[in-house]
A and B are shown apart, each in its own frame.
Chain A
Amino acid sequence: MNPGATDQATAWSVASGPRGRGASSNAWRKRLEITFFVAPALVLFALFVIVPVLQAGHYSVYKWNGLGPLDNFVGLQNYVQALGDQIFQRSVRNNLTIAFLSIAIQLPIGIMVALLLNRRFRGQTAMRVIVFVPYVLAEVVAGVVWALILQPNGPLDALLDSVGLGAIGQVWLGDPKVALWTVMGVLTWKYSGLAIVLLLAGLQGVPEELHEAAQIDGASWWQVQRKITIPLLGPTIRTWIFLSMIGSLQLFDMVWILTKGGPVNATVTMATYLINQGTDRQQYGYASAVAILLFAISFILAILYQTFFLNRDAGEDKPRRKKVAR
């Protein structure tokens, strides 16, 4: 746009615009500005999120090997097949197990470590960095390193041997009974850092005065944490649970690198199932149906969670917090 023209236009509008019309055109202007700034993001969102989802929905009602036209319409057969497939059912179970265990294990760890790191001690910053490093590491790098550590007669077994615990050594990734727990362990190592950092940030929002007041009233450290800190961390915890849940449902890379969903499907997740049974076998219609199911499951859980838990934070929680803070 030519700056001169803009100036002119502005001058014109200032000169001629009576007060009342000015207000309404101000509203217009605001709307246009919003449109202008939001549109590129919306366009990208539509192109790379909405359109692919719709396309997947379209493919999912065809049997299609990716070549040639979509001409074999099969209706909902792909969905029926997926929902009836034992391995897909297992993948859903595994995803839910991982989601539940992630929260059950990482939340207590996160709260405890965050509380510890929130106290002043020497090397505090260094500790915070160390705790966060696994989360920052690239998933693939971490996965490859863990695969090496966990290989039969690898470093982990050697370590256990050297401290006399050789007896609890396992075929960590090769035993169908053990593999899911091993993966869970690696995920805990990888993602606890996020919980800790988020909770640490949440802790900064808990006013010091409350602690002081409670201490003056004779509350012990534990009581202070239980009655004041953790309730005030509520919004942070609920947000983290949301992130963790969605991440668990869509889990792919770590599992793919460690086990590819094996051994004998012990660690299959919906996403690895999608790749393994869908795209790797050139069954793009079926893969799309599985993708839509994965999307639907994540979406429904996300909406439910939003409705029942997160809404509190957006609505009433804030004023209440203000009151407490005062």
Chain B
Amino acid sequence: MKRTAALRAVALGAAVAMIATACASGSGGNEEAEGDGDNVTLTWWHNSNTGVGKDYYDQMADQFETDHPGVTVEVSAMAHEDMLTKLDAAFQSGDQPDVFMERGGGELKAHVEAGLVKDITDSAADTISAIGGSVAGWQVEGKTYALPFSLGVVGFWYNKAIFADAGITAAPTTMDELYAAIDTLKAAGIEPISVGAGDKWPAAHYWYYFALRQCSQEVLADATQTLDFSDDCWVRAGEDLEALVAKEPFNTGFLATVAQTGPASASGLLATGKVAMELAGHWEPGVMQGLTDDGLGLGENTGWFAFPAVQGGDGDPTAQLGGGDAWACSNDAPDVCVDFLEFMLSNEVQKGFAEYDMGLPTLPSATAFVSAPELAQLLAVRNEAPYIQLYFDTAFGESVGGAMNDAIANVFGSVGSAQDIVDATQAAAENA
């Protein structure tokens, strides 16, 4: 009897050990081949996972392999949200891909502090100077960590037909003109503006822009570094927002409206002609195309104008709010990774990127190849802007940005004040 028991115990032990090893081998499997010299594999995650964009990136990977014998580029195309989730997990476990997307600001700063991103200041110096000022959002303490390949600005997308029918002939350039347009549209029985306040960040863009108009460039730059919001321009921005909300220009139920998903989203309402305009980034035409049956979005009726000037502000009325995506290398990626980044920012690749409408190229020589007229107009505004402020939530990092966006959404819901936004943001900054 004892031997049976012993045998069983051994079997049990073996079973437990097997389970344990199975678990152990599951976690450590993703070792990258860091070949020294001849055979190198670069893993690359991107979010152009459909249509021409995916094909284009696949071609570019092939071409890079041809130009660099011995280098294999392992491409993973995934949906944007999936990519962000996977990247978060990868950063935590420290096995991020060799080439990945960085959105700049506080997020990049955290990655740099954790030693996850390669410093490319010297190794990619030529490309950095070719891109010019746009690279600023991806610098931490004077060092460059990523090369922005697409940089857009936020502005009002509007339905030209609705504007014309309501008798609005010129796009608003000041807040007073915008208010007049809102009144005209309401009188014509049209909901003027859709906003995805359910997702918070689309609502927050309004406050960001008011802050951009109210605060001087020094105050903005200072706040990004020190997270100090004591200047009263921040409160004035909130007061401007309160005035806009009091005007009730937004779609019915905007507090629960989502940004981009489905016909009842803010983008969907604009795409289907239910509202006249929406404040959104350069991605909006693409999003609207996906939300209409014919795949055209607003088509020829797509119009764009920059966020209006605000009276009495310290900020430059032509400064723009924006953001973009950049390619970065993992700190432990092979050196050829930097070559890949420079290749992706080469004239040739950026030109194709522009021609396929995959984004707004950052390389000045490639901007001429953007074909859609409203995007070309947006690009002209971007290129003329004295500075482009990175979205505050990205710039300040997610913990401060999240608290700030919540407080802004509260003002949209009329349960918070201009001062509350500043207080909540400051409190989160001190806690961060």
Contact = CB atoms under 8 A, between A and B. Distances in A.
Q: Do A and B come from one complex?
A: yes
A293 B16 CA distance: 32
Interface in B247-303: 251-257, 262, 264
A97 interface: no
Given A39-B12, A174-B198, A282-B88, 17 more contacts: A9-B7, A28-B5, A32-B8, A36-B12, A65-B399, A66-B88, A67-B111, A67-B116, A171-B252, A171-B256, A172-B253, A174-B253, A174-B255, A176-B255, A259-B198, A263-B197, A277-B402
B248 to A, nearest CB: 13
Interface stretch (B154-162, B204-212, B341-349, B408-416): B408-416
Interface of A: 1, 5-6, 9-10, 12-13, 17, 21-22, 25, 28-29, 32-33, 35-36, 39-40, 43-44, 47, 65-68, 81, 148, 151-154, 171-176, 179, 259-260, 262-265, 276-277, 280-283
Contacts of A277: 402
Contacts of A36: 8, 11-12
A154 to B, nearest CB: 7
A35 B91 contact: no
Nearest to A282: B398
B12 A35 contact: yes
A43 B415 contact: no
Contacts of A263: 197-198, 255-256, 413
A270 to B, nearest CB: 17
9 contacts: A5-B7, A9-B3, A28-B1, A32-B5, A32-B12, A65-B399, A259-B256, A264-B412, A282-B398
Contacts of B264: 148, 151-152, 154
A282 B402 CA distance: 10
A222 to B, nearest CB: 43
B9 interface: yes
A97 B81 CA distance: 33
B196 to A, nearest CB: 11
A47 B16 CA distance: 12
B87 to A, nearest CB: 11
Nearest to B409: A264
Contact of A67 (B91, B253, B399): B91
A25 B5 contact: yes
Contacts of B114: 67-68
Given A179-B256, A282-B399, A260 B198 contact: yes
Contact of A174 (B20, B115, B257): B257
Interface string B61-102: 000000000000000000000000000100110000000000
B259 to A, nearest CB: 11
Nearest to A47: B23
Contacts of A29: 1, 4-5
A22 B251 CA distance: 81
Contact of B4 (A9, A65, A154): A9
Contacts of A280: 398, 402
B380 interface: no
B198 A39 contact: no
B41 to A, nearest CB: 24
B22 to A, nearest CB: 11
Contacts of A67: 91-92, 110-111, 113-114, 116
B19 interface: yes
Residue from A9, A44, A148 whose CB has the most chain B CB atoms within 10 Å: A9
Given A9-B4, A12-B3, A13-B4, A262 B110 contact: no
A281 B7 contact: no
B15 interface: yes
